[in-house]
Structure 1
Amino acid sequence: MSQISVIICTHNPKMEYLNRVWETLKTQTLDKNEWELLLIDNGSKEILSTYIDLSWHPNARHVREDKLGLTPARICGIVNARAGILLFVDDDNCLKNNYLELSVKQFKDNSLLGTLGAGKILPEFEAEPSAEILPYTQMLALRNEERAHYSNAVRFSSAVPYGAGMCILKTVALAYVESCKKRTIAAALDRTGNALLSGGDVDLALHACHAGYLAGVIPELELIHIIPKGRLAEDYLIKIAAGHAFSHYMLGRMWGYLKEYPENPILKKVRFLTKARRGKGLSKAIFIAEHKAVEQARAAWNKTAKA
C-alpha cells in the first residue's frame, strides 16, 4: 500500500513545465510502489488523460474535476487519495530527489506532525527580475529557511507550509473538506480562473494545528519553483499582493487571530494617505492595492457575519 499520495492540481498546464515535474518525480529515491500519483485535471480545455501518459508510474491515476478553482481541485485530490499522507505539488514544482522519502520519514519519526512543508522553495526565473522587482518576488511562494520551524499555534507563522510541496495527514485533510461544506467563505480563499487569491493552503494547514498537531517547515525539504516571465510584470505582482491581503484578512477573522477594534475613520484615512504619499513606484501601488483589498475583505466578512 502507498505511504504517500502525490497530488498535482492543474488547469491547462504548460507541458514544458509539467515534463520537468515528471522528471523530478521519476528520480525520487522512494520506490514508486511506495507512493501513488494523482493528476487532477481541473477543467482543462483539452482533457489531460487524452494526451498525458502516466504509464511510467505503477500507481498513477487521472482524475477530472470540472468545478474550476484550486480549492475544488484540492478537495478532489484529497477524497480520491488512498495514502495516509498527502503531498501537494504544483505543476511548476521540481522536487529534490529525496523529497518523498524524507517526507515519509518525518511523519514516521514524529507522531505529533500534522503538516510539513519545504523550507527551501527556490526560484528558477525564465527572465531575470530587475532590481526593483526582485524584492517582491517573495510573494511568488518562495522561501529560503536556514532552520526548521514548528508550531501548533492556530495562526499564520513561519511554521505554516506553503501549498507548493505541502504534506498533510489525510485525516486532517478530510476534516478540512468537511469544514469547507459549512464554511462557504473558505472556498473563496484560493485561485479561481484569473482571481489571484491565496490562503487555502494556510487554511488547510491550520486545521492540523486546530487538531493539536504540529505544523512544520524544514530546510531539508527543497524544491525549485519555475517562475515564468509574466509573473514578474508589475500588474501581476500588484494583483497577487491584493489577493494575499484579501485572503489573509479573511483567514485571520475565520480563525480568530486577527482582532479588529473601533477606530476613528478620519484618523484612519489620514494614516493611509500619509503612508501612501511616502511611497513611490511599485511599492506605493502595492500598498494601495493591499489597502483596498483589506477594505473589500472587511466588507465581505461583515456581510457574511450579519447573514
Structure 2
Amino acid sequence: MMDQRTPTNKYEIVVVDNCSTDSTKKVVDQFSAKGNVRYIFEPTLGLSYARNTGWRSARGKYVAYLDDDAIACPVWLDKILEAFETVTPRPGCVGGRVTPIWEASRPEWLSDWLLHGLTIIDWSDMPHILTNLSEEWLVGANIAFPVEILERVGGFTPNLDRAGNNLLSSGDVFLENQIKNMGYSCFYHPDITIGHHIFESRLSQSWFIRRYYWQGVSDAVIHLLQERPSMLKRLRFAYSQAKILLQSPGKLKTLILPTNNPERFTQKCFTLIILGHIYGVLRFVRPWQ
C-alpha cells in the first residue's frame, strides 16, 4: 500500500486488528509515523465485524478493502477513484482482478474454476458492470464502496465470512446483491489489481474439500437470510437435494473415490457444496436474528 501513485495526503490506511496474538500492533505503530496509518483493535472475532469496524472508522468518502495477505498494484487507488468518479451512474461498489502469488507449485488437480475458492478472479480485460453475480462477482480482498452506500445497507452481515477456524464465506457477494437490489451496479475493472498470497497449506485436497463443503454451508445461510423459509420448506429442500444426489451415482462416485484428475476433483468439490447446503439449511435456526 505504501507505493501508491495517489498522494499520501489523499488517503489513509486503517489496519483493523481482529484479535491477533502476534506483533501486529507493534508493526503498525512503526508505520504510523508516516502519518496516514491508523491501528484499530476490534475485539469481536469475525471478518465481517472487522470489515464493519474499518468502514465505520474511515474518514474518507470511499473505503477500499485489502486483505492482510494481498499486495495492491501502484495504481490501485487511482483506478478505484477513476471508476467511482467517471462511470455513470456511479456504481455502488467497484473491484477488480486478483492474481495468485504462489508459495508452492500449483497442483495438477487444481482446475481453473477451483481457483475461485482461493479468491482468484480474472473476468476479462475490459471494464464492465457485473450483471449476474452468480457468474461474475467481486471479492472482499479487493473491493471498494462509497461510505454512504455501506451506511444505507448496514455493512457486512455478521452471519457470513470467517470467524476463527470456520470457512464461512460469501459475505462480499451477499453485500453486492444487497447493493444491486438498491438499484446500484457492481463494477469490475481489470486494472484494479491485487496479488494474493496462496499459502502452501491451502494447496491440499483436504483444504479444498473443507473449503467447498463450507461454501455449501455459506450458500445455506444466504438461502435462509434471503427467503426465511419455514422448517417444512427447509425439510422439503433438503429432501429434494438429497434425492438428486442419490439418483446421481456419478456424483456419489466422485465424492467417495480419490482422484488427481482436475475435472473429477472439481465435481467432487461441487458435490460437497450440495452436502454443505443441505446441512446448513437444517442446522441453522434463524441466522437473520
1:206-225 → structure 2 map (5 Å cutoff): 206-225=177-196
Pick one of 39, 44, 47 that aligns with 2:15. Answer: 39
Pick one of 36, 46, 50 that aligns with 1:73. Answer: 50
Check 1:264–1:205 CA distance in 2 against 1; reply closer, same or farther (3 A cut). Answer: closer
1:93 aligned onto 2:64: no
Q: CA deviation at 1:116?
A: 0.6
Q: Contact 1:41–1:47 (CA<8 Å) still a contact in 2?
A: no
The 2-side partners of 1:255 and 1:196 are apart by 20
The 2-side partners of 1:266 and 1:249 are apart by 14
Check 1:266–1:88 CA distance in 2 against 1; reply closer, same or farther (3 A cut). Answer: closer
Q: CA RMSD in A?
A: 2.9
Check 1:54–1:80 CA distance in 2 against 1; reply closer, same or farther (3 A cut). Answer: same
The 1-side partners of 2:273 and 2:83 are apart by 37
Q: Contact 1:114–1:215 (CA<8 Å) still a contact in 2?
A: yes
In structure 1, list runs of 5 or more residues that go unmatched.
1-24, 181-185
Match of 2:121 in 1: 143
Match of 1:205 in 2: 176
SS at match of 2:138: coil
Pick one of 96, 104, 129 that aligns with 1:127. Answer: 104
Check 1:222–1:304 CA distance in 2 against 1; reply closer, same or farther (3 A cut). Answer: same
1:247 aligned onto 2:218: yes
Residue by residue, what CA displacement relative to the aligned partner does 1:128-168 show, whole Å, maximum 9, x if unpaired?
12211354333101012223331467x5441x311111011
Q: Contact 1:38–1:61 (CA<8 Å) still a contact in 2?
A: yes
Q: CA deviation at 1:79?
A: 1.0
SS at match of 2:12: strand
Q: Contact 1:249–1:298 (CA<8 Å) still a contact in 2?
A: yes
Report the AA paired with residue 42 of structure 2: E
The 1-side partners of 2:123 and 2:242 are apart by 41
The 1-side partners of 2:43 and 2:187 are apart by 32
**Identical amino acids, percent of aligned pairs:** 21
SS at match of 2:32: coil
Q: CA deviation at 1:265?
A: 7.5
Residue by residue, what CA displacement relative to the aligned partner does 1:48-72 show, whole Å, maximum 9, x if unpaired?
3234322354222100001111011
Give me the TM-score of the superposition, normalised by structure 1. Answer: 0.79
Check 1:72–1:213 CA distance in 2 against 1; reply closer, same or farther (3 A cut). Answer: same
SS at match of 1:189: coil
Match of 1:304 in 2: 286
Q: Contact 1:163–1:201 (CA<8 Å) still a contact in 2?
A: yes
The 1-side partners of 2:25 and 2:258 are apart by 45
In structure 2, list runs of 5 or more residues that go unmatched.
260-264
Q: CA deviation at 1:210?
A: 2.0
Report the AA paired with residue 192 of structure 2: L
Q: Contact 1:42–1:65 (CA<8 Å) still a contact in 2?
A: yes
SS at match of 1:188: coil
The 2-side partners of 1:105 and 1:54 are apart by 27
Check 1:305–1:249 CA distance in 2 against 1; reply closer, same or farther (3 A cut). Answer: closer
Q: Contact 1:152–1:209 (CA<8 Å) still a contact in 2?
A: no
Q: How many residues align?
A: 273
Pick one of 254, 258, 281 that aligns with 2:258. Answer: 281
Give me the TM-score of the superposition, normalised by structure 2. Answer: 0.83
Q: Contact 2:241–2:278 (CA<8 Å) still a contact in 1?
A: no
